[in-house]
């Protein structure tokens, strides 16, 4: 079953409805700076380091590559087995939203511990919004024991080995109604056949630098510029 939204598109949509529309219908217009690419690389390296602490982990992405719509089916196959299992990039689909969890541990009782890995050294609100969407989707598919955000700080559990692991399960569960409303609003935006004419402004760089800035600033009105 195909999906309409992903985690990255949802976060993009929270920042700008125009960027969301472009991400779905015209992603070739995206332009990423060298610094953005370096941040992506650092994030992947930190994620791989944390995954190394699960030596028996099964990487769904290694088996299915870019066929992301097949991830939930293969993930379900592994999770339906009786034994414990650790999965990387496990896929879950609910409400037309596909999320890929960095690390999922399933215990003998079928409950999941989820670890979302971020390379930043501060547990930002953006990280929490990211995790909240994943909790929303995954909890409608499986029973969650804990949902943790792992980041590169020293103020959480296991900080001594370079990882801060913070359990946000209750906080994330409290955001489900808001997330459902956000998804509904984004679906309406994506029903439109024309690109939104949202003006540029501070939201183009906060909380993330938008890769569509060059396109949006070519011949459109602007708000509160820099």
- Tens-place pLDDT, residues 7-58: 999 999 999 999 999 999 999 999 988 888 888 888 889 999 999 999 999 9
pTM of the predicted structure, to 2 decimals: 0.90
The domain spans of the chain are 5-216
Which residues are within 8 A (CB) of 112 and not within 5 positions of it... i.e. 6 or more apart? 79, 104, 105, 106, 138, 142, 143, 144, 145
Paired tokens of 166: 């913070």
CATH classification code of 5-216: 3.90.320
Beta strands in 12-169 (DSSP E): 58-59, 85-94, 97-106, 112-117, 144-151, 164-167
pLDDT tens-digit series, residues 186-211: 999 999 999 999 999 999 999 889 99
Q: Can you tell me the distance from the alpha carbon of 47 to that of 163, in angstroms, rounded to the nearest whole number?
A: 10
Tell me how long the chain is. Answer: 226
Measured between alpha carbons, how far is 44 from 52 in angstroms, rounded to an integer?
Answer: 12
């Amino acid at each position: 079953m195909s999906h309409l939204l992903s985690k990255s598109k949802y976060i993009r949509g929270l920042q700008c409805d125009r960027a969301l529309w472009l991400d779905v219908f015209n992603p070739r217009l995206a332009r990423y700076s060298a610094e953005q690419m370096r941040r992506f690389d650092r994030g992947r390296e930190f994620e791989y380091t944390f995954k190394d602490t699960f030596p028996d982990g099964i990487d769904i992405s290694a088996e299915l590559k870019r066929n992301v719509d097949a991830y939930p089916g293969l993930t379900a196959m592994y999770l339906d087995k009786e034994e414990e299992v650790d999965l990387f990039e496990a896929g879950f689909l609910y409400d037309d939203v596909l999320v890929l969890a960095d690390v999922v541990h399933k215990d003998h009782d079928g409950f999941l511990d989820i670890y979302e890995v971020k390379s930043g050294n501060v547990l930002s609100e953006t990280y929490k919004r990211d995790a909240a969407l994943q909790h929303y989707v995954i909890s409608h598919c499986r029973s969650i024991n804990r949902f943790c955000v792992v980041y590169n700080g020293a103020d959480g559990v296991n900080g001594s080995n370079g990882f801060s692991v913070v359990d946000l399960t209750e906080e994330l569960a409290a955001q489900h109604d808001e997330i459902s409303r956000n998804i509904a609003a984004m679906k309406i935006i994506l029903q439109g056949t024309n690109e939104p004419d949202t003006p540029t402004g501070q939201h183009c760089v906060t909380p993330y630098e938008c890769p569509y800035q060059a396109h949006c600033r070519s011949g459109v009105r602007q708000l509160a510029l820099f």
